[in-house]
């Protein structure tokens, strides 16, 4: 298994984020993680990326246990991550953002680093904005930049945190195309998302997190139609499939 977490436990004061959660992300797959607001999805991504320490459990990448490594070490090992609220450096260009990511994880020449940064930018649909400052980007392009920075790390798996949130239907479709293209190249994804139609268009497997546990998992349709998932969202299957 490419990326795996086993019996993860995480509590913040009296709040249980994870109570023995296990999940697996095979190579070249998209695994979706859904759940109502406050379920702890973003904190769980933090545990997996190394930003947050778990209280118990094991995390492994390519068969190597990485539980005690920090976020920088995990990035160098092949775990990329985007953040729910993009905060680019306002004074750096799109190219400079990607170049910094390359330089964090790869020992290459200047020309090689430049080429890798450009490749990440192109694969995330930002070629025309390569010299635009981060502070001048619209929301969709800030989210693309988040992905380009993750791609520039040369990751085996990318943890996506609600990259479709706040976008139009057309913009969501553009993100779906980027994710599917990167998956076809061999990159795996664990995608936390409220815009569920983005997951139905990409995910091989979906899990629902609620009250510290995975209450349902399976194909997107199976999970969205599961009674416990419907109850946790206080909605209907039709509402869930339309998105957030």
125-159 pLDDT, tens per residue?
999 999 999 999 999 999 999 999 999 999 999 99
Q: Where are the domains of the chain?
A: 3-78+155-242, 87-154
Q: Are 207 and 23 in contact (CB under 8 A)?
A: yes
Task: Give the DSSP letter of residue 9.
Answer: E
Query: How much is the pLDDT for 243?
Result: 45
- In this predicted structure, what is the pLDDT of residue 233? 77
Q: How many CB atoms lie within 10 A of CB 51?
A: 16
> How many Å separate Cα 128 from the centre of its chain?
24
Reported pTM: 0.93
Q: Cα separation of 229 and 162, whole Å?
A: 18
Q: Under CATH, domain 3-78+155-242 is a member of which superfamily? A: P-loop containing nucleotide triphosphate hydrolases (3.40.50.300)
């Amino acid at each position: 298994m490419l990326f795996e977490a086993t019996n993860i436990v995480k509590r913040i004061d009296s709040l249980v984020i994870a109570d023995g959660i296990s999940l697996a992300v095979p190579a070249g797959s998209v695994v979706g993680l859904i759940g109502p607001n406050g379920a702890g999805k973003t904190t769980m991504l933090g545990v997996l990326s190394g930003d947050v320490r778990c209280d118990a459990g094991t995390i492994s990448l390519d068969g190597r246990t990485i539980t005690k490594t920090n976020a920088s070490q995990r990035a160098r090992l092949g775990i990329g991550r985007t953040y729910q609220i993009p905060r680019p450096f306002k004074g750096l260009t799109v190219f400079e953002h990607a170049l910094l990511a390359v330089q964090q994880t790869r020992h290459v020449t200047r020309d090689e680093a430049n080429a890798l940064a450009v490749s990440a930018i192109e694969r995330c649909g930002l070629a025309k904005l390569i010299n635009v400052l981060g502070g001048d980007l619209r929301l969709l392009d800030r989210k693309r930049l988040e992905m380009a920075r993750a791609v520039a790390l040369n990751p085996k798996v990318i943890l996506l945190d609600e990259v479709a949130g706040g976008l139009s239907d057309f913009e969501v479709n553009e993100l779906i195309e980027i994710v599917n293209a990167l998956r076809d190249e061999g990159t795996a994804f664990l995608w936390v998302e409220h815009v569920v139609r983005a997951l139905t268009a990409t995910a091989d497997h979906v899990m629902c997190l609620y009250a510290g546990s995975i209450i349902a998992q399976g194909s997107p349709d199976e999970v969205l139609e599961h009674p416990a998932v419907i109850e946790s969202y206080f909605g209907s299957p039709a509402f869930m499939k339309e998105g957030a």
